Amino acid sequence: MSQLPKASLKLFPCTIGGEINYSIPEGVKMEILECRNFIVENERTARRFLKALDRNFPLEETQMSLLNKHSREQEIPLMLKALEQGNDVGILSESGCPAVGDPGALVVAMAHKKGYQVKPFTGPSSFLLALMASGLNGQQFAFHGYLPVQENEKIKSLKYLENESKAKNQTQLFMETPYRNIKFLAFILKTLNPSTFLCVASNLSCEDEYVRTMTVQDWRKTELPDIHKKPTVFLLQS
Amino acid sequence: MSQLPKASLKLFPCTIGGEINYSIPEGVKMEILECRNFIVENERTARRFLKALDRNFPLEETQMSLLNKHSREQEIPLMLKALEQGNDVGILSESGCPAVGDPGALVVAMAHKKGYQVKPFTGPSSFLLALMASGLNGQQFAFHGYLPVQENEKIKSLKYLENESKAKNQTQLFMETPYRNIKFLAFILKTLNPSTFLCVASNLSCEDEYVRTMTVQDWRKTELPDIHKKPTVFLLQS
pLDDT digits (tens, 9 = 90+) for B202-223: 999 999 999 999 999 999 999 9
Cβ distance B148 to B176 under 8 Å? no
Q: How confident is the model at residue A17 (pLDDT cuts 50, 70, 90)?
A: very high
Min distance A49 CA to chain B CA atoms (Å): 16
Look at B22 and A24 and tell me if their CB atoms are within 8 Å. no
Side chain identity at residue B186, one-letter code: A
Side chain identity at residue B231, one-letter code: P
The SS3 call for residue A172 is strand
- pLDDT value at A2 more than 70: no
More confident: A127 or A2: A127
- Give the nearest chain B residue to A112 (CA atoms): B213
Look at A211 and B21 and tell me if their CB atoms are within 8 Å. no
Give the mean model confidence (pLDDT) for residues B87-113: 94
Cβ-based contacts of A23 with chain B (< 8 Å): 25, 122
Min distance B191 CA to chain A CA atoms (Å): 22
Cβ distance B103 to B67 under 8 Å? yes
Cβ distance A118 to B133 under 8 Å? yes
Give the mean model confidence (pLDDT) for residues A212-238: 97
The SS3 call for residue A77 is helix
Min distance A202 CA to chain B CA atoms (Å): 12
Give the mean model confidence (pLDDT) for residues B71-81: 91
Give the mean model confidence (pLDDT) for residues A76-101: 94
Min distance A62 CA to chain B CA atoms (Å): 23
- pLDDT value at A222 more than 70: yes
- Give the nearest chain B residue to A172 (CA atoms): B142
As to burial, measured by CB atoms within 10 angstroms (0-12 exposed, 13-18 middle, 19+ buried), residue A183 is exposed
Give the count of beta carbons closer than 10 Å to the beta carbon of residue B174.
20
Cβ-based contacts of A111 with chain B (< 8 Å): 135
Q: Summarize pLDDT for A196-220 with one digit per residue, the tens.
A: 999 999 999 999 999 999 999 999 9
Which residue from B27, B124, B134 is facing A22, i.e. has the nearest CB?
A: B27
Q: How confident is the model at residue B1 (pLDDT cuts 50, 70, 90)?
A: very low
Share of residues in chain B with pLDDT > 90 (%):
92
Q: Which helix (H) or strand (E) holds A32?
A: helix A26-34
Nearest to A71 by CA among A42, A49, A47, A100: A42
CA A182, CA A98: separation in Å to the nearest integer?
Answer: 27
Q: Summarize pLDDT for A20-47 with one digit per residue, the tens.
A: 999 999 999 999 999 999 999 999 999 9
Look at residue B2 in the predicted model and tell me its pLDDT: 46
Q: How confident is the model at residue A103 (pLDDT cuts 50, 70, 90)?
A: confident
CA A100, CA B121: separation in Å to the nearest integer?
Answer: 18
Look at residue A102 in the predicted model and tell me its pLDDT: 85
**DSSP calls for B25-69:** -HHHHHHHHH--EEEES-HHHHHHHHHHH-TT--GGG-EEEE-ST
- Give the nearest chain B residue to A116 (CA atoms): B212
Angle between helices A126-134 and B105-113 (to 10 degrees): 70
CA A213, CA A199: separation in Å to the nearest integer?
Answer: 4
CA A38, CA A90: separation in Å to the nearest integer?
Answer: 5
Side chain identity at residue A120, one-letter code: P
Cβ-based contacts of B106 with chain A (< 8 Å): 135
Cβ distance B26 to A26 under 8 Å? yes
Mean pLDDT of all residues belonging to chain A? 95
As to burial, measured by CB atoms within 10 angstroms (0-12 exposed, 13-18 middle, 19+ buried), residue A20 is middle
Optimal mutation site among B127, B132, B214, interface A, most CBs of chain A within 10 A: B132
The SS3 call for residue A17 is coil
Topology of domain B126-237, per CATH? 3.30.950
Give the mean model confidence (pLDDT) for residues B88-97: 96
- Give the nearest chain B residue to A213 (CA atoms): B112
Query: Where in chain B are the domains?
Result: 8-120, 126-237
Give the mean model confidence (pLDDT) for residues A155-173: 97
Q: Which of the four CATH numbers 3.40.50.2300, 3.30.465.10, 3.40.50.1370, 3.40.1010.10 does domain A8-120 have?
A: 3.40.1010.10
Cβ distance B159 to A128 under 8 Å? no
**Dihedral pair phi/psi, residue B86, rounded to 5°:** 85, 15
Give the Cα-Cα-Cα angle B40, B44, B48 (nearest 5 degrees): 100
- pLDDT value at A5 more than 70: no
- Give the nearest chain B residue to A175 (CA atoms): B139
Give the mean model confidence (pLDDT) for residues B119-133: 98
- pLDDT value at B83 more than 70: yes
CB pairs under 8 A between A and B: 172
Cβ distance B69 to B93 under 8 Å? no
- pLDDT value at A4 more than 80: no
Give the mean model confidence (pLDDT) for residues B67-85: 91
Look at residue A6 in the predicted model and tell me its pLDDT: 81
As to burial, measured by CB atoms within 10 angstroms (0-12 exposed, 13-18 middle, 19+ buried), residue A6 is exposed
Q: How confident is the model at residue A69 (pLDDT cuts 50, 70, 90)?
A: confident
Look at A109 and B25 and tell me if their CB atoms are within 8 Å. no
- Give the nearest chain B residue to A168 (CA atoms): B144
What CA–CA distances, in Å, run from A184 to A17, A38, A177? 22, 36, 9
Look at residue B102 in the predicted model and tell me its pLDDT: 85
Look at residue A3 in the predicted model and tell me its pLDDT: 53
Give the count of beta carbons closer than 10 Å to the beta carbon of residue A68.
13
Min distance B171 CA to chain A CA atoms (Å): 10
Mean pLDDT of all residues belonging to chain B? 95
- pLDDT value at B155 more than 60: yes
CA A102, CA B155: separation in Å to the nearest integer?
Answer: 32
Instruction: Write the secondary structure of B98-164 as one string of H (helix), E (strand) and C (coil).
Output: CCCCCCCHHHHHHHHHCCCEEEECCCCCHHHHHHHHHCCCCCCEEEEEECCCCHHHHHHHHHHHHHH
Angle between helices A26-34 and A43-53 (to 10 degrees): 120
Give the count of beta carbons closer than 10 Å to the beta carbon of residue A206.
16
Cβ-based contacts of B102 with chain A (< 8 Å): 138-139
